[in-house]
Amino acid sequence: MLNTKKWTLLAASTAFLAVSSTVGAQGTPARFNTNIWYRLQTQFQGPGKALDVINDGVNNDRLHMVDVGPYSGQYWRLTPVQGFPGAYRISSLWQGENLPIDIINGGPNDNEPILAPFGSTNGQFWWMYEILPQAPGHYWMTTGFRGPNMALEGAAINGNQPRLDPRGLFSGQAWRFVPIISIDPARTTPFGTGCNAGSGNLTLTTNDPWVGERLTGAVRNLPADAPACELFFGLRLSAPLPIYQSPGCSLLVDPAVQVTLPAVNGTCTIDLPIPGDSNLVGGVLPIQALAIRPRGAAPRIPATNGVELKFGLR
């Protein structure tokens, strides 16, 4: 008989036999942004509970599901396993990367997860598979040790302790990886030097880029005859390129995407939205700005320094 309390992945009208044949189907392992600390939650227990490390001084290597809170045992990172495509080690901020999640083999705690010293054991190799089409954004968590037909169940023991169980369409096996914060903060790194158009070297500065917020900054020291500047985003060039009719000025970034900004009193103000997409976290995007001047002006197209944006989440 089905455990209807946990049978929330499928519409009530869907018969078990109609979908049971899809449980064994194995898709492509999911890929995750490894620059993020995640909170791990199940569909069954909802957003109020999260996977944590027991902190009682005795069982500090064991896991349980508890109320969500600002605890380092609830911050999890995924580190790719070299030589095993799609596999990750999963470790907590509290206990560190040297104690990833492993699986107990044998005894009364067989198939229960445990934090164990970093090693080559395949109980530390985790593959996640999105539960499609029944639960988009939710994943089965499986190991190389027990294989794809055993998945982590969040409330298998006493309603709050996880264990590997036979994989099925159960909401206790449907895990969400909820981004909390980036492992490294957002940052900006200037590179190169702007050229002088009569008012000092052109400069480009911005705030640190956090996803879901705004990129603000300014292009300064524009010549009075420049009505606007072009801010562009692209790839950093391997070597600076001289700019036409602009001695001493260099192109540092391949201008793949451009934004025109009006100049007021020698300054272009930057205020642009950053998409709230966690896939941006950890990504690096170089930017630079140019000023366009009338014919005969020298330098004709003065350029700023470049700025490398590294996106963070907070």
pLDDT digits (tens, 9 = 90+) for 75-95: 999 999 999 999 999 999 999
What is the pTM assigned to this prediction?
0.86
Q: For residue 3, is it within any domain?
A: no
Residues 132 and 256 in one domain: no
In order of 41, 202, 250, 253, the CA distances from 239 in angstroms are 46, 19, 9, 9
> Where residue 152 sits, what CATH number does that domain have?
2.80.10.50
Instruction: Convert the pLDDT of each residue in 163-189 to its tens digit.
Output: 999 999 999 999 999 999 999 999 999
Q: Determine how many CB atoms are found less than 10 A away from the CB of residue 114.
A: 15
When pLDDT is averaged across residues 93-104 and rounded to a whole number, the result is: 98
- Render the burial of 274-288: b for 16+ CB within 10 Å, e for the rest: beeebebbbeebbbb
Residues 80 and 198 in one domain: no
More confident: 127 or 15: 127
Residues 104 and 209 in one domain: no
Q: For residue 178, is it within any domain?
A: yes
Q: Which structural domain, as residue segments, surrounds residue 298?
A: 187-310
The least confident of 39-53, 113-127, 244-258 is 244-258
Token digits for 227? 């009505």
What is the share, in percent, of the chain residues with pLDDT greater than 70?
Answer: 92
Residue 100 has pLDDT above 70, yes or no: yes
Give the chain's domain count.
Answer: 2
Q: Determine how many CB atoms are found less than 10 A away from the CB of residue 130.
A: 17
> Where residue 289 sits, what CATH number does that domain have?
2.60.40.1930
Q: For residue 172, is it within any domain?
A: yes
Q: What is the pLDDT of residue 230?
A: 97
Dihedrals φ, ψ of 281, to 5°?
Answer: -60, 130
Residues 134 and 218 in one domain: no
Q: What is the pLDDT of residue 81?
A: 98
Instruction: Give me the chain's average pLDDT, please.
Output: 91
